[in-house]
Amino acid sequence: MVLPKLLDIFLTGNNIISYNGCMTQVFLFVMLMVTEYLILAAMAYDRYVAICLPLRYSHFMSLQVCFRMSLISWSIGILDAILYSILISSCRFCGSNKVDHLFCDMKPLMMLSCSDTRTIEMVILGPSAVIGFVPSLLTLVSYTCIILSILKIHSKEARLKTFSTCSSHLTVILLFYGTVLGMYMRPKSSYSMDQDKVFAILYAGVIPMLNPLIYSLKNQEVKNALRRIRKQIFR
């Protein structure tokens, strides 16, 4: 919903969006962002079990466990999106209707509102802090255990091979978590709309474009193709 509208704006110059379309953007953006945040944390746990507890992997990461983790991630994402959408739609907009952002996000919409948004900001801050802290802590603990386990391996080749199994996921986590936390967890005193626009471009456009490339770098055919391209460039 975000990228198609951005492409429409770039191609046609039509930067008008309806109120219902704006609320739909808020709902889908929050739902997908929260869900991806939680799924990346679940994937970090998966890498921890695969590297630190390989003999018990089938027990800890059975099909039922994976389904439940996915279901919980999507459920929290949907519930969080419903909460935020209800709070934003309860605001009154009686002044300017120009959203100074790349899409309908919560912060610029609350800045446009002529209602007192302090209560809404406090209600949003609670779930956001929990959803931001818990998965980040789980990911940090998982990768701390992974790194400690890798350092115990005596063979250098074995260490590199083990680390390569989670390097792609770790790269995506650093990009995604860094962008989201930088966008929503900054103190209000340092809030800048220009910075938010940069973070929005990274999150909505650049990172999704890089994900397939990052995850496919372990594929031997992709590596060979990149080597051929590199040789052609240097020639």
Calculated CA dihedral for residues 176, 178, 180, 182, nearest 10 degrees: -160
Count of CB atoms situated within 10 Å of the CB of 127: 15
Distance CA 18, CA 16 (A): 7
Q: Which residue has the tokens 């590297």?
A: 51
Distance CA 40, CA 168 (A): 12
pLDDT for res 1: 62
Structural domain count of the chain: 1
Work out the widest C-alpha separation in the chain, in whole angstroms.
Answer: 66
pLDDT for res 218: 63
Distance CA 67, CA 208 (A): 23
Distance CA 11, CA 18 (A): 18
Which residues form the domain of 207? 2-234
Query: pTM for the whole thing?
Result: 0.80
> What letter does residue 155 receive in the DSSP assignment?
-
pLDDT for res 68: 92
Residue ranges, the chain, pLDDT below 70: 1-2, 95, 184-193, 214-215, 217-223, 225-226, 235
pLDDT for res 76: 92
Task: Please answer whether residues 36 and 60 qualify as being in contact, where contact means their C-beta atoms are separated by less than 8 angstroms.
Answer: no
Distance CA 134, CA 205 (A): 26
At 12, which CATH number?
Answer: 1.20.1070.10
User: According to DSSP H, which parts of 53-188 are helical?
Assistant: 57-60, 63-89, 106-112, 118-151, 156-184
What's the angle, vertex CA 70, arms to CA 67 and CA 74, rounded to 5? Answer: 135
